[in-house]
Each structure stands twice: as C-alpha cells, then as structure tokens.
C-alpha cells in the first residue's frame, strides 16, 4: 500500500502550485467532481483534486480494504479489536426485518423493542399522561457528557422548527454554573430529568444528577419519580430510585459519540416526537444504503473521506474548518470535533505499531455568516491553508424571511469562490489606484489587499434542514470517519486518550480537599494546588 501513498505524494508535488481555478477550463469540471445523494449535492470541484488524484485516491481506498471492512462493520464483526466489540450504531437505524448478528444473535428485534418503549414513554410525556408533581411536563433536562450530550444537543437545536413537545435543555459540564444556569427559571414540579450514562458512574454526569435531584427535592416529594435514565446499569439506576420502566439501555457495540440514534436520543425524541425521530433514523438509513451500494466514484462518504485524506495526509493541511451556513447547525462543528478527533486522533495502527503518517486533522468551525467577521481573516490571508467544508440549505424554514436566506446563501457561495479565486497584486493595485494612491503608498496599500487564493473548499448543499436531511448529514460524517480510519489503518472506535486525565483528576481531588499530600506531584502541579487551596485572595 505504501506505493499508493507515494504515488499520491508524487502527483501532488507536481501540481501543488497549480491554480484550482484553472481546472475549470474544463467546462464539465463541476459536474464530474461532485456527487449526489437523492436531493443532496456534494461539490468538491473547488479542490486541486484532478482525474489522476481521484483515481489514485480511489485505488488507495480499494487496497486499504474499505469495502471489506465496511461489510465487516455492517455484518456485526468485532472491528473494534482493542476492546473486542462490534461497531453497530448503524443497527440502531436498521429497518425491521433486517438481520444483524452479534455472537450468534440477531440484535435488530431488541433495538426496535427499545425504540417502541422510547416512543411510548415519549408520547406519554408529550400527551400529558406522564406528569410531574405539578402536572404535565413542560421541560426536560438531559444530563450527560461527551457522546451523551454533544449529539442530541446538536440535533435538538438543528430540528428546532419541528419541536412540538416539552422544552429540552442539556447539562454536561461538571462546572456547577452549567446546571445552575439551566435550572434557573424552571419549575421542578413539571420538569423531567434524563440521566444519560451507560455505566451510571460517569463522575461529571452523576455529580450533576445529584445536584438536579437536590434542586427538585426542594419542591417535589419524590424526585426520582421525575427521573429517567439511559443506562445499562439496572442496579445503579434502581438504587437511585428510577423505576425500570423509565430506564433505557444500549449495548457496548454502540460507542458514545455514535449513540444518538438510540436511547441517547430520548431527549430529541421528546422534542420532535417519535415520528420526527423516525424520519431522522430514515435519513441515516438512507445514507447507510448509499454507502453500502454506490461505487466509490459516486459514494458521498467515500468521496468526503478521500478529500480529507488528500488535504491532510497528502497536502499537509493540518486543520479542517466546518462552516455551516445554517444557524441551527451551530453545534455541528463541536459535535464533529468529538466524532472525528476522538475517533481518528490516534498515533498507533491496529497492530500497535506507530502510524507511518499523521492521523486525523484538527476540526473546528462556527456558523456563517458570523465567522466571516471573525476568523475568516486567517482563512483568506493567513500563512497556513485551512481547507473549508461549507454546508448550506437551498431553503430555510422562515418563508417570510426568504430575503435573508438569499443573503445567507450568497455569502456562502461567495466565500468558497473567494477562497479559490483570490485577488492578485495587479488587481489590488488597480483598485487602490482608483482611490487616488500612487507610488510607494499605492504598492504598500495594495499588498495588504492581496488574497493568495488557491485555497480549497467543499460544499454540501441540501434542500432544507429536515429530520431526514439531518440524519443523512450525520451518517455521512460517521462513515467519512470510518473510511479515513480504515485508510489510515487505525481503530476509530476506541478512545484510550480520555483515560489518563480522568485517573489523575481522581488522584488530585483528595489533595484539593486537604486529605492527602501533594509531595509526589511535579513542581507546577504543586504550585497550582497551593494556589487553589490557600485562603489568600
């Protein structure tokens, strides 16, 4: 496989200074370097990927075993081999009647039974059959962290136009300010709390759960009666006082950051209803089917992954900006940070050897158009190239504000064009000369207005941000992570990098409480502990 990598690097070395704009001398460039999934369009023509690069990238995916590993994942094989687990978030959205075998048992019937339980509970809450001490539930607080928060919190905001249930709030940070700010103004007698922790031991989540229970106990005689849990630890949820009918579990073959399709999505289901949640699952299912069946040349997850490999491992661009021109997707970059950086932020291959190339990029971003008045300065004129991934809907949900959506779309399309086209010194000089500048000052001012251009971007366009479309988008990025991980030869589904900090935090807590000496710590940590524990201001 090494020769495939080398062929890509050799090809890139010969074209790296070529203007992307020159590729559009071929009139069908935009058509040949884009792909569709139903009404969704993925345009990657504003990159320096040409026919040769595309062919070499597809060959790299083929020799890496993407197709074989894809079949293994969907088939229930334990591809997370450092933990001995299958990787079956896709089964959470599988249709009834499909068989997915794990250790000789079909897991799909149990998945649909759990979905049915979730739907019944959600409808009981939404229709006022399940009540709090003060009557019908008006608010839901979901307490989780990481994958038990980022996905459903992002999706709940994204699908705001479809909310017809109780108001949904999310608490994740162990910083007491988070839970304090969320409960402020809520009525505990009409609030339902969902505690989302597979083991029911996650310290941040359980600390916030205890705080929420104390808050509720001030006005509610039996707070546990207004709690539900997303957990597999039935003994611990029972000890907390939560009735088994309000406990929804999921298996260890669903990783946290891939889990919003099942019980972790309960808060989302409460907001948009079981039908809206099913539409969300259907969108993910649609992308699954396309990922499984379409040739690599037309396969959106594969193409998105190959663009990422080209920019990061071949071109050496170390970051990736995700820029949704869709305010309700404002939490998508944060969600993708976890999805991509926790999955592919590794330094060893599947066999434990050191990776021969860099792994995943730094993923970040904010919605447009706000970002244009902030960090786009660096993207356009900074010294480092930042590949950009734009997302934009053809239509918004506010027909009376169509003129604003038109302005939004025009800004999105203009940014990708500006990144590619740039502005030459000659063009900048002509602009400033029209303003009356001459000589050295003309040259100085013109140089400040030069845009290097030749900066790559992709655009994912879709008709409207519906539950179905959101499901497509999330599944698209999930499979992108999978393909990149296979090509890089790493395990995308473990996350050992989160463990060490947790262990050290547990060791530091008694030192902060004054119950244990900090003598074993390094000088910096001892000094910080001293600052935090002394009474001096």
Q: Domain count of the chain?
A: 4
Angle between helices 2-15 and 51-63 (to 10 degrees): 160
Domain presence at residue 320: yes
Domain presence at residue 46: yes
What is the mean predicted confidence (pLDDT) over 424-444? 97
Distance CA 482, CA 17 (A): 31
Taking phi over 0 as left and psi of -120 to 50 as alpha, with beta for the rest, 489 belongs to: left
Structure confidence at residue 535 as a pLDDT band (50, 70, 90): confident
303 and 403, same domain (yes or no): yes
At residue 185, what are phi and psi to the nearest 5 degrees?
A: 90, -10
What is the mean predicted confidence (pLDDT) over 339-345? 97
183 and 268, same domain (yes or no): yes
305 and 379, same domain (yes or no): yes
What is the mean predicted confidence (pLDDT) over 452-465? 98
Is residue 221's pLDDT more than 80?
yes
Q: Using one digit for the tens of pLDDT, what is the confidence trace for 272-300?
A: 999 999 999 999 999 999 999 999 999 99
**Burial of 354 per CB tally in 10 Å (0-12, 13-18, 19+):** exposed
Q: Using one digit for the tens of pLDDT, what is the confidence trace for 492-516?
A: 999 999 889 989 999 999 999 999 9
Q: Using one digit for the tens of pLDDT, what is the confidence trace for 7-58?
A: 999 999 999 999 999 999 999 999 999 999 999 999 999 999 999 999 999 9
What is the mean predicted confidence (pLDDT) over 360-375? 97
Domain presence at residue 328: yes
146 and 208, same domain (yes or no): yes
Close Cβ partners of 233 (under 8 Å, ≥ 6 residues apart): 197, 198, 199, 200, 201
Residues known to be catalytic: 342, 373, 502
pTM of the model: 0.96
* Domain range for 122: 93-277
What is the mean predicted confidence (pLDDT) over 80-104? 95
Concatenating the DSSP letter of every residue in 92-108 gives: GGPPTT---EETTEE-H
Q: What is the pLDDT of residue 66?
A: 98
Is residue 536's pLDDT more than 90?
no
Give buried/exposed letters for 279-295 (b at 16+ CB in 10 A, else e): bbbebbbbbbebbeebe
443 and 308, same domain (yes or no): no
Mean residue pLDDT of the chain comes to: 97
Distance CA 260, CA 267 (A): 10
267 and 172, same domain (yes or no): yes
Q: Using one digit for the tens of pLDDT, what is the confidence trace for 310-319?
A: 999 999 999 9
352 and 429, same domain (yes or no): no
The count of C-alpha atoms lying within 13 angstroms of the C-alpha of 343, restricted to the half-sphere facing its C-beta, is 26
The two tokens of residue 322 are 């995700």
- The CATH number given to whatever domain includes residue 137 is 3.40.50.10490
Q: What is the pLDDT of residue 502?
A: 87
144 and 271, same domain (yes or no): yes
Q: What is the pLDDT of residue 537?
A: 60
Q: What is the pLDDT of residue 172?
A: 98
Selection from 256, 247, 250 nearest residue 227 by Cα: 247
Q: What is the pLDDT of residue 235?
A: 97
Q: What percent of the chain has pLDDT over 70?
A: 100
461 and 343, same domain (yes or no): yes
Q: What is the pLDDT of residue 398?
A: 97
127 and 268, same domain (yes or no): yes
369 and 480, same domain (yes or no): yes
121 and 34, same domain (yes or no): no
**Burial of 330 per CB tally in 10 Å (0-12, 13-18, 19+):** middle
Structure confidence at residue 2 as a pLDDT band (50, 70, 90): confident
Domain presence at residue 88: no
The two tokens of residue 72 are 């293994």
- The CATH number given to whatever domain includes residue 503 is 1.10.1390.10
């Amino acid at each position: 496989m090494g020769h495939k990598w080398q062929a890509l690097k050799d090809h890139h070395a010969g074209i790296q200074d070529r203007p992307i704009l020159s590729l559009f001398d071929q009139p069908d460039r935009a058509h040949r370097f884009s792909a569709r999934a139903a009404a969704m369009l993925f345009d990657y023509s504003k990159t320096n990927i040409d026919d040769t690069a595309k062919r070499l990238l597809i060959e790299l995916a083929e020799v890496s075993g993407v197709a074989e590993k894809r079949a293994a994942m969907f088939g229930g094989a334990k591809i997370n081999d450092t933990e001995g687990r299958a990787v079956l978030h896709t089964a959470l959205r599988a249709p009834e009647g499909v068989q997915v075998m794990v250790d000789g048992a079909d897991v799909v019937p149990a998945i649909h039974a759990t979905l049915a339980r979730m739907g019944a509970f959600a409808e009981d809450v939404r229709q006022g059959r399940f009540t709090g001490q003060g009557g019908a539930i008006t608010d839901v607080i979901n307490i989780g962290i990481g994958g038990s928060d980022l996905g459903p919190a992002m999706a709940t905001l994204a699908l705001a136009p479809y909310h017809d249930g109780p108001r949904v709030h999310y608490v994740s940070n162990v910083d007491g300010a988070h839970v304090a700010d969320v409960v402020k103004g809520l009525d505990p007698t009409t609030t339902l709390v969902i505690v989302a922790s597979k083991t029911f031991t996650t310290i941040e989540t359980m600390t916030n759960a205890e705080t929420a229970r104390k808050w509720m106990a001030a006005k509610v005689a039996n707070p546990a009666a207004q709690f539900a849990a997303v957990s597999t630890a039935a003994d611990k949820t029972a000890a907390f006082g939560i009735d088994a009918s309000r406990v929804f579990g999921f298996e260890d073959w669903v990783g946290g950051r891939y889990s919003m399709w099942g019980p972790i999505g309960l808060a989302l289901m409460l907001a948009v209803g079981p039908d809206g949640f099913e539409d969300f699952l259907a969108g993910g299912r649609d992308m699954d089917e396309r990922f499984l069946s379409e040739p690599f040349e037309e396969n959106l997850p594969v193409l998105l992954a190959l663009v990422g490999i080209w920019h990061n491992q071949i071109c050496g661009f170390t970051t990736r900006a995700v820029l949704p021109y869709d305010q309700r997707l404002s939490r998508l970059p944060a969600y993708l940070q976890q999805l991509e950086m926790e999955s592919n932020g590794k330094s060893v291959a599947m066999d434990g050897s050191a990776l021969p190339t860099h792994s995943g990029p730094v993923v970040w971003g904010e919605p447009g158009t706000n970002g244009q008045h902030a960090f786009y300065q660096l993207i356009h004129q900074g010294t480092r190239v930042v590949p950009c991934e734009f997302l934009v809907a053809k239509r918004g949900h506010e027909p009376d504000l169509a003129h604003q959506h038109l302005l939004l779309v025009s800004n999105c399309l203009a940014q990708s064009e500006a990144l590619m086209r740039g502005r030459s010194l000659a063009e900048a000089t002509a602009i400033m000369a029209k303003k009356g500048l001459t000589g050295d000052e003309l040259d100085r001012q013109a140089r400040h207005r030069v845009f290097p251009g030749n900066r790559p971007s992709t655009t994912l366009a879709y008709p409207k941000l519906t539950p179905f479309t959101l499901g497509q988008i999330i599944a698209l990025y999930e499979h992108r992570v999978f393909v990149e991980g296979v090509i890089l030869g790493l395990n995308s589904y473990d996350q050992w990098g989160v463990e060490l900090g947790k262990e050290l935090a547990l060791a530091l807590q008694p030192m902060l409480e004054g119950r244990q000496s900090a003598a074993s710590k390094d000088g910096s940590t001892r000094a910080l502990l001293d600052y935090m524990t002394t009474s001096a201001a």
